[in-house]
């Protein structure tokens, strides 16, 4: 009986709650329908499967939809607006000429997440590069493909090399217990001169051992290199407008070689 | 008794019918959540009713707002923190997060400062990014937008914001004898982007 009363109370509460949701401002729903709410919706508009609600269904619909995927406030604010507009037109041409479809699960698409982690009781900025991929059994997943910033943020000290005594072999390297255990902050400096540091492995080890605590993602950008001749960046913008959500925040021309270099730079700490 | 069903189809083979069922199920859960949220801040309701709404809202979440365990594909117990809400303020650029349980409690407590609170919701909830993540297990995202206005005791607007909320939703497919497959939805982490309009 008590349960029935409780359920009835919950139902009444829910119904009364709905009554307080008042539809007053028509722009809220209009903007929300137009907003690119998810990258799924971005892909649907980019690929011509869905349309911005205020774009008419005619022969220019697909082109207009691609144009509407640009962050127009950013475009207007650009110093080199006319050049950017010309790039944007060539970008659209390239999409239609090569019949490019957008998918997050593409080897030419990377997510760059600028994050905060806690190390030795201090917040430190790092960046994670993530890729979406398919597993052998057909599941879609994100995986961490790279980490940047461990050196710059002071989590690892790797710029300097430290020497292990050249005579240490004679005593079967018994000094290692002294070198490695007592000045741990110098650890990476004892690597061979030819060895580079894999920051991803270091990061995951520090996470596994609990020495780094992941805090928050401050900023997220999606880097896309699947349109021939261009690199474009997608970011999420919130504003009360019919041009909001996941939008193209930047675009620049790039040859295949420049794209390769760009990807390398994404993974390498500057 | 509900039996967990084992689908042999891959994630790509999800039928349109199942996709639609999942979308409908998630939409109704999200609308239910919006309704409870609105009740929690409704100054015209008694504290008993607002509290019941808070408890009902928590019951929609994984672990009912507490840390929880699930079993991974190898049958190992996987520990999860409580469901959280991450709030990003467009005005200040600040990002913070709090447990959903605390968020609901704060929403419950805060209204005593105000004469009245109104929530206006966009007329649609979008559900997409539906992925199969295990046998009979799916995850997707739900999106909705709200305007929140709080009036001070003098009747003037004291606070207002426009928020866009995204909720991760965990779906479990279950088979009920003589009924067929149903999709159970539990809400997960929420990402909120907020633009403050007035102070």
Domain total of chain A: 1
The reply to whether A3 falls in a domain is no
Residue A37 pLDDT greater than 60, yes or no:
yes
A55 inside domain: yes
In this predicted structure, what is the pLDDT of residue A142? 96
- Domain assignment present for residue A242? The answer is yes
- Measured in whole angstroms, how far is the alpha carbon of residue A122 from the centre of its chain? 23
Flag the least confident range among A68-82, A247-261, B45-59: A68-82
How far is A126 from chain B, CA to nearest CA, in Å?
A: 16
ipTM: 0.78
What pLDDT is stored for residue A3 in this prediction?
Answer: 53
pLDDT at B199 over 50: no
Sign of the Cα pseudo-torsion (B29, B32, B36, B42, in order): positive
**Contact flag A240-B164 (C-beta cutoff 8 Å):** no
Q: Which residue has the higher pLDDT, A90 or B178?
A: A90
3-state secondary structure of B44: coil
Q: Tally DSSP H helices, then E strands, for chain B.
A: 3, 10
- Residue B78: what pLDDT? 85
Share of chain B above pLDDT 90, in %: 46
Q: From the list A32, A38, A40, which residue is nearest B145 (CB)?
A: A32
C-alpha–C-alpha distance, residues B42 and A248, integer Å: 39
Q: Which residues, other chains included, contact B174 with Cβ-Cβ below 8 Å and sequence gap of 6+?
A: B2, B3, B4, B5, B136, B181, B182, B183, B184
A-interface mutation test, from B32, B45, B123, most A Cβ less than 10 A away: B123
Mean pLDDT value across residues A232-260? 94
Beta strands B84-89; B180-198: pairing state:
parallel
Q: What's the total number of domains in chain B?
A: 1
Write the pLDDT tens digit of every residue in A61-103.
Answer: 999 999 999 999 988 888 888 888 999 999 999 999 999 999 9
Q: Which H/E stretch holds residue B101?
A: helix B100-110
Q: Which tops the pLDDT comparison, A41 or A80?
A: A41
What CA–CA distance (Å, rounded) separates B9 from B3? 18
Quote the pLDDT of residue B14. 76
pLDDT reading at B9 higher than 60: no
- B23 neighbourhood in chain A, CB within 8 Å: none
Q: Is residue A66 part of a domain?
A: yes
Provide the pLDDT confidence category of residue A4 given band limits of 50, 70 and 90: low
- Kindly list the residues from chain B whose CB atom is less than 8 angstroms away from the CB atom of residue A18: 34-35, 38
Between B42, B131, B145, which is nearest A140 by CB? B131
Please give the full DSSP string across A82-119, using - where no structure is assigned: HHHHHHHHHHHHHHHHTT----SSSTTEEEEEEEEEEE
A131-179 pLDDT, tens digit each? 999 999 889 999 999 999 999 999 998 888 999 988 888 888 988 988 8
* Best of B26, B38, B137 to mutate (most A CBs within 10 Å, chain A): B38
Classify residue A141: in a domain, yes or no.
Answer: no
CATH of the domain at B26: 3.10.450.50
pTM for this entry: 0.83
Contacting residues of B for A218, CB less than 8 Å apart: 95
Domain that holds residue A248: 26-106+225-267
Longest dimension (CA), chain B: 62
Can you say whether the dihedral through the CA atoms of A130, A107, A98, A38 is positive or negative?
negative
- Please give the average per-residue pLDDT across B126-140, as a whole number: 90
Of B48, B120, B166, the CB nearest to A21: B120
Q: Is A240 on the interface with B (CB under 8 A)?
A: yes
Q: How far apart are CA B139 and CA B169, in angstroms?
A: 6
CA A134 to chain B, closest CA, distance in angstroms equals 10
Q: Please give the pLDDT value at position B193.
A: 85
Identify the CA nearest to A163 among candidates A183, A146, A149, A144.
A183
CA dihedral B169, B170, B173, B176 (to 10 degrees): -80
- Separation of alpha carbons B1 and B3, rounded Å: 6
Chain A hits for B150, CB-CB cut-off 8 Å, are none
Indicate whether A90 belongs to any domain: yes
- In this prediction, residue B30 has a pLDDT band, given cuts at 50, 70 and 90, of very high
Are residues A197 and A158 in contact, defined by beta-carbon separation less than 8 angstroms?
Answer: yes
The domain in which residue B105 lies consists of 3-198
Q: Is residue A72 part of a domain?
A: yes
Taken in order A12, A14, A19, A20, the sign of the CA dihedral is positive
A54: left (phi over 0), alpha (psi -120 to 50) or beta: alpha
> Is B128–A23 a contact, with Cβ atoms under 8 angstroms apart?
no
**CA dihedral of residues A72, A75, A77, A82 (deg, nearest 10):** -140
- Coil, strand, or helix at residue B177? coil
List, as one string, the DSSP characters of chain A. -HHHHHHHHHHHHHHHHHHTB----HHHHHHHHHSB-SHHHHHHHHTTSS--TTS-SSTTHHHHHHHHTB-HHHHHT-TTHHHHHHHHHHHHHHHHHTT----SSSTTEEEEEEEEEEETTEEEEEEEEEEEEE-TTS-EEEEEEEEE-TTTTTSS--SS--PPPTTGGGGTTTTHHHHHHH-GGGGGGGS-TTPPP-HHHHHHHHHHTTSEEEEEEEEEEEEE--STTEEEEEEEE--SSSS-EEEEEEEEE--HHHHHHHHHHHHS--
Any long-range contacts for B13-19 (C-beta under 8 Å, 24+ apart)? B14/B130, B14/B132, B14/B138, B18/B173, B18/B181, B18/B183, B19/B130
């Amino acid at each position: 009986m008590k349960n029935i009363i409780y359920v009835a109370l919950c139902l009444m509460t829910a119904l009364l709650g709905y009554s307080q949701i008042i539809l007053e401002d028509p722009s809220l729903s209009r903007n929300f329908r137009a907003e690119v709410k998810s990258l799924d919706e971005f892909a649907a508009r980019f690929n011509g499967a869905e349309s911005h609600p205020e774009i008419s269904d005619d022969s220019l619909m697909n082109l207009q939809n691609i144009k509407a995927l640009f962050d127009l406030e950013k475009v207007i604010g650009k110093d080199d607006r006319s050049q950017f507009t010309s790039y944007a037109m060539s970008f659209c041409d390239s999409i239609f000429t090569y019949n490019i479809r957008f998918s997050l699960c593409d080897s030419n698409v990377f997510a760059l997440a600028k994050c905060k982690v806690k190390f030795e009781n201090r917040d430190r900025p790092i960046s994670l590069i993530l890729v979406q991929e398919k597993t052998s059994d057909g599941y879609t997943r994100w995986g961490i493909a790279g980490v940047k910033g461990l050196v710059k943020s002071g989590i690892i000290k790797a710029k300097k090399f430290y020497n292990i005594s050249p005579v240490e072999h004679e005593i079967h390297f018994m000094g290692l217990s002294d070198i490695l255990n007592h000045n741990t902050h110098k650890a990476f400096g004892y690597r061979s001169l030819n060895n580079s540091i894999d920051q991803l492995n270091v990061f995951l080890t520090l996470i596994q051992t609990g020495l780094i605590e992941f805090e928050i993602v401050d900023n997220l950008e999606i880097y896309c290199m699947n349109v021939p001749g261009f690199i474009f960046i997608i970011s999420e913008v919130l504003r009360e407008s019919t041009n909001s959500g996941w939008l193209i925040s930047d675009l620049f021309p790039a040859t295949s070689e420049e794209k390769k270099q760009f990807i390398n730079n994404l993974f390498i700490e500057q | 008794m509900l039996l967990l069903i084992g689908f042999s189809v891959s994630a790509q083979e999800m039928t349109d019918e199942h996709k639609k069922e999942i979308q409908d199920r998630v939409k109704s859960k999200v609308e239910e959540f919006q309704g409870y949220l609105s009740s929690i801040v409704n100054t015209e309701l008694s504290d008993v009713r607002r509290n019941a709404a808070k408890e009902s809202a928590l019951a929609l979440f994984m672990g009912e707002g507490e840390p929880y365990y699930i079993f991974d594909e190898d049958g190992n117990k996987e520990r999860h923190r409580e469901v959280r809400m991450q709030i990003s303020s467009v005005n200040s650029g600040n990002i913070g997060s709090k447990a959903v349980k605390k968020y609901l409690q704060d929403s419950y407590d805060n209204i005593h400062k105000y004469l009245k609170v109104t929530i206006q919701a966009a007329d649609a909830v979008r559900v997409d990014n539906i992925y199969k993540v295990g046998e009979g297990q799916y995850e997707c995202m739900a999106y909705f937008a709200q305007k929140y206005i709080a009036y001070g005791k003098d009747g003037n607007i004291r606070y207002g914001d426009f928020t866009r909320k995204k909720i991760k939703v965990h779906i479990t497919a279950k088979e009920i004898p003589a009924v067929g497959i149903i999709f159970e939805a539990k809400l997960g982490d929420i990402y909120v982007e907020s633009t403050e309009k007035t102070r």
